[in-house]
Amino acid sequence: MTLADSLSIAFRTVRSNKLRTGITVTIIALGIMALIGINMAIYAMKSYLKDSFSFMGANGYTLRFKDSKVRFGGPRTATLGKVGQKEKKSNLDKPIRKEEAELFKTQFNYPATVSISLRATDNSLECTYADKKTNPTCSLLGGDENYLNVSGYKIAVGRNFSSLDVSSGRNVCLLGSNVATKLFGDNPERCLDKVIRVGSLQYRVIGLLKPKGTSSFLRQDDAVITTYLNVKRLPIASPSFSIGVMVNNVTEMDAAIGETTSLFRSIRRLEPVEQDNFVIEKSDKFAEIFIGLLGGIAGSAILIGLITLAGASIGLMNILLVAVSERTKEVGLIKAIGGKRVDVRRQFLFESLIISLFGAFFGIILGILVGNLFSLLLGTGFIMPWGWIITGVLICTAVGLLAGIYPAIKASKLNPIVALRYE
- Return d(Cα 346, Cα 109) in angstroms, integer: 74
pLDDT digits (tens, 9 = 90+) for 321-356: 776 666 666 666 666 666 677 777 777 788 888 888
- Return d(Cα 297, Cα 394) in angstroms, integer: 23
CB-based contacts of 396, cutoff 8 Å, min separation 6: 28, 32, 309, 356, 357, 359, 360, 363
pLDDT digits (tens, 9 = 90+) for 140-185: 999 999 999 888 889 999 999 999 999 999 999 999 999 999 999 8
Residue 287: band (very low, low, confident or very high) from pLDDT cuts 50, 70, 90: low
Residue 283: band (very low, low, confident or very high) from pLDDT cuts 50, 70, 90: low
- Return d(Cα 227, Cα 206) in angstroms, integer: 12
Whether residue 411 contacts residue 333, with contact meaning beta carbons closer than 8 Å, is answered with no
Residue 274, strand partner residues: 88
- Return d(Cα 419, Cα 410) in angstroms, integer: 12
Residue 68 has pLDDT above 80, yes or no: no
What pLDDT score was predicted for residue 86? 39
Mean per-residue pLDDT over the chain, rounded: 79
DSSP-derived secondary structure letter, 90: P
**Distance set, CA 398 to CA 124, 352, 376, 394 (Å):** 56, 10, 33, 6
Name the range with the highest mean pLDDT among 27-36, 198-207, 381-390: 198-207
Strands (E), 188-318: 195-198, 201-209, 223-227, 242-247, 278-282
Residue 423 has pLDDT above 70, yes or no: no
Cα angle, residue 198 at apex, residues 283 and 61 outer, rounded to 5°: 10
DSSP-derived secondary structure letter, 85: P
What pLDDT score was predicted for residue 326? 64
- Return d(Cα 386, Cα 388) in angstroms, integer: 6
- Return d(Cα 82, Cα 86) in angstroms, integer: 9
- Return d(Cα 183, Cα 165) in angstroms, integer: 24
CA-closest candidate to residue 191, choices 178, 203, 207:
207
CA-closest candidate to residue 364, choices 387, 384, 392, 383:
392
DSSP-derived secondary structure letter, 283: T
CA-closest candidate to residue 365, choices 340, 385, 348, 338:
385
What pLDDT score was predicted for residue 329? 62
Span 4-23, mean pLDDT? 76
Residue 89 has pLDDT above 70, yes or no: no
Strands 172-175 and 201-209: parallel
Residue 281, strand partner residues: 62
